Amino acid sequence: MVPKRLILKSPVGMRSGRWIKRAGFFKEIGLVTKHFMPNSVITPDSSNAVQVRTQAMISWQMKGVDLEPRPVQAGYYQSEVVRTPDGWKFASRDVLLNGLFKVKAVYGPVK
């Protein structure tokens, strides 16, 4: 199977209905995700804003079936962080990943 590429653009993060539904499905079938974020490069835009590029490697584990972590996606998060009166906050976050995005591509049919 040829890996796919995901480019997700979001003003605040992945809190949309699609991602919440996916998280519920993962919980229902016992799939645990782990997001390894080993390196971040922070580049100042100004005294009140920075660009942050963070490497990402995502693995899946299936409870009761296969506890071996399976690396399924890799890429990076590109974020803009701004200073507010309440501290630093994400203004935007783009997620750019390559890999497998369907559970059946890794574990076969599960439901």
Query: Which residue segment(s) compose the domain that 57 sits in?
Result: 4-107
Helix locations, the chain, DSSP H: 17-29, 103-107
Higher-pLDDT residue of 72 and 1 is 72
Query: 84 pLDDT band (50/70/90 cuts)?
Result: very high
CB-based contact 33:63 (threshold 8 Å)? no
Rounded Cα–Cα distance for residues 13 and 84 (Å):
18
Rounded Cα–Cα distance for residues 61 and 82 (Å):
35
**CATH number, domain containing residue 88:** 3.10.450.50
Record the pTM: 0.71
Question: What percentage of the chain carries pLDDT values higher than 90?
Answer: 45
CB-based contact 3:99 (threshold 8 Å)? yes
**Total domains, the chain:** 1
In the prediction, which pLDDT does 3 show? 46
Higher-pLDDT residue of 2 and 35 is 35
Rounded Cα–Cα distance for residues 35 and 59 (Å):
7
Q: Please, what is the average pLDDT of the chain?
A: 83
